Structures are given as C-alpha cells and as structure tokens.
Amino acid sequence: MHEYRFINKILCWVIQMENVMILAINTGSTSTKIALFNGISLEICETLRHPVGELRVFENVIAQFQYREKAVMDFLIKNKIDLKAICAVVGRGGLLHPIEGGTYTINPLMLEHLRENLSHASNLSCMIAKRIADKTGVPSYTVDPVVVDELEDIARYTGCREIKRYPIWHALNQKAVAKQYANDKQIPYENLNLIVAHIGGGCSVGAHYKGRVIEVTNALNGEGPFTAERAGKLPVESVIDLCASKKYGGPEELKQVLITKMGLLSHLGTNDGRIINERIKQGDGEAKKVYKAMAYQIAKEIGSAAVVLTGEVDGIILTGGFAYDEMLMGWITEYTSFLAPITVIPGEDEMYALSLGAYRVLCNKETAKEYRG
C-alpha cells in the first residue's frame, strides 16, 4: 500500500535543549535572511532587502562583505540580541570545492576558497558567520552546501572524455527532509534507500543510498527535467545551433537564459504554478500539456534514480516550493507510485536546516567536519 501524505515540516529528531541560541545567516543576491533559534524553536526570523541601487556601487559580491555584515549587526542591535548569548553562528554554504555532506567548521581555508568566487552571494554567508562568531569566541559552521559531492565514480563519466559530471544541487534541503523522513519512521537515515526530488526554480533528484547521495542531477547546469525557469536537459545539436544563431547573444548570455528564462516561463510566460493551475482550471489545454510534461520529466528522473538503487527503494520524497501543488504532485505520483511509497514534504526551510546542522553538533549528536578543500 502506497503512502501519500503531507507531513509536518518541523525538524525535531533530537531532544529539545533550552538556551542553545543559534544564529543562522543566508545571503541571497538582493537579500540577507537572518534567524535566531533557541534549540529547535524559532525565536525571530527576518529577511533584509538590499536595494539594487545600493548594491551596484560594489565591484563584485565579495566587495559587499562589510555592507552585509553591518546589516546583520544592525538587525541584532535593533532586536536587542546579545552576542554573548549566542552559542554558535551558522552560514549558508557557498561554492566551495566538492565535499561530502555534513556540518563543517568554518576555517581559514574555507574562507579563502569562498573569496575566490566573486559572483555568488551565498559565499558571503560563511564569511559573515565567521566574523560574528569570532567576536565572542563561539564556533561557526556551515551545513550541506550546494557542492556536496558523494557521487560514485561511475556516475562522473560522460560520452566526452573532456567533460566530467559534477553535482550542484539542493543538498541542504534534500539531506534535511531525508533525515526528517528517517526520524518519522524511527529508522536511521544510514539504513535507508531514498529518492528525493526537490522541485523549485530548479530541480534536483537524488538517490540516497545508506546516508550518501550516490547520484543526483546537476540542478544548475543543464541536467534533469525542465522546471519553472530552467531548460534542463536539451539535445546537444540543437543547443549548438542555438548558440551559433546568437539569438540570445554569446555563450555566457545563453547560459544565463537557459537557467533563468526557460522552462515554464519560456512555454507559458510565467514561472508561477498557481497561475498555471488557474489557467488549467479555465480550460487552457496548452498549459496543462506543458505542466504535465514537467511532471513527466521529473518522474523519469525518479525512475532513473530507482535504477541506481537497483530497485531497492524504501521511499520517495517530493519537496521544494512546487511540492505545495497537489495537481503536480498527483501527476508525479501517478507515474512513480509503483516504485515505492511517496511522501510530500513541501517547502524549503533552509534556516531550520542550517540551525539543526549546528544544533546536532552542539548536542553531540554529530561531529563537525574539517574542510580540507
């Protein structure tokens, strides 16, 4: 019998300990999200918006460090948060060198590698977390960054010797919901084989084998299904022709178009599933075909992950922003429910996932790893 249900998004697989104050920081392209937790309980969460005009004065993202740090410190002062009461600071992981999953202490080598990439705002999170933590001598961490790489060697090969596969994916949320599922079942994560499909602006489908993600689609650079705004996997010859036509400019411009202006946006002029649902209800046949085609492609990737796990699949988890859409989840379920029980955990609660990675370390449920690049 297949299980298909929404379960509570409260990640509480450890015993609550009071007065374990954890500050979480997540820097986006034009925003900085800050959250303070007492154990697993959220105390305060706020998203600071940074006007584009103010950000334009900086030569690159890394040059925004002092500006962003001041915004965080102003937030702490405004909300009367005493730095001395904070037990740890955790930052969203940036584009580091490939590492295995887990919670990592932010060290000088990590900061050095983060500074090498001048264009990704997420790289600022750890830099700010480390600076604030050092003010009072508490530890600073990062948890499951997008570069987590646990692929089997066989998964790295392509048909072109010069090209190797590498993962960029929703590691933070995938690992968090997989552990939540394991806790709900009262089975260690390391004893389960799971398929997790994160469906948002991008989509990553991971094969979780006994606590390691041995196969996962690159959610950024042209693998997997098309999504709300990404093209996904495309015929190579057609991409070459499109690049040669210069319809979207040169190679760098085309790369940006393929990850920001394709998918549902290209076909239907919107990346909002709610709008598409309404159009379908009003009889828009094309909208239904395109939306179901996205579900079909996601289901195919889930099927591929089942092959990687040789059919031994304990559960399939559907997560991310689009997991709130019952129509889309229903179609994916129709295609894949014969493989394993399906559980839907909607959303992407990054701040909870970050804080819990640090919390597990502080509670001695997990040992922090050392980044060695």
- Measuring CA to CA, which residue among 97, 124, 121, 125 is closest to residue 109? 97
Cβ partners under 8 Å of residue 344, min gap 6: 4, 5, 6, 7, 317, 318, 319, 323, 329
Phi-psi domain of 182 (left: phi exceeds 0; alpha: psi -120 through 50; beta: other): alpha
CA separation (Å) from 114 to 108, 111, 129, 146?
10, 5, 13, 13
CB 218 within 8 Å of CB 169: yes
Determine the Cα–Cα distance for residues 85 and 136; give it in Å rounded to an integer: 9
H/E element, 239: helix 236-245
pLDDT at 19: 83
The fold of the 171-347 domain, in CATH, is Nucleotidyltransferase; domain 5 (3.30.420)
C-alpha 332/C-alpha 346 separation (Å) is: 14
CATH code of 11-149+351-370, in short, is 3.30.420.40
pLDDT for residue 9:
45
CA distance 328 to 200: 12
Whether pTM exceeds 0.85: yes
List every span in the chain annotated with CATH 3.30.420.40. Answer: 11-149+351-370, 171-347
310: how many CB neighbours lie within 10 A of its CB?
9
Q: How far is CA 310 from CA 48, 209, 304, 313, 355, in A?
A: 45, 11, 10, 8, 34
Distance between CA atoms of residues 370 and 139, nearest Å: 12
Q: Where are the beta strands (DSSP E) in the chain?
A: 4-6, 21-27, 31-38, 41-49, 86-92, 103-105, 140-143, 193-199, 203-209, 212-216, 315-320, 342-346, 369-370
Tens-digit pLDDT string for the chain (373 aa): 455 545 444 444 445 566 899 999 999 889 999 999 999 899 999 999 999 899 999 999 999 999 999 999 999 999 999 999 999 999 999 889 999 999 999 999 999 999 998 778 899 999 999 999 999 999 999 999 999 999 999 999 999 999 999 999 999 999 999 999 999 999 999 999 999 999 999 999 999 999 999 999 999 889 999 999 999 999 999 999 999 999 999 999 999 999 999 999 999 999 999 999 999 999 999 999 999 999 999 999 999 999 999 999 999 999 999 999 999 999 999 999 999 999 999 998 899 999 999 999 999 989 999 999 8
Alpha-carbon Rg for the chain, nearest whole angstrom, is 21
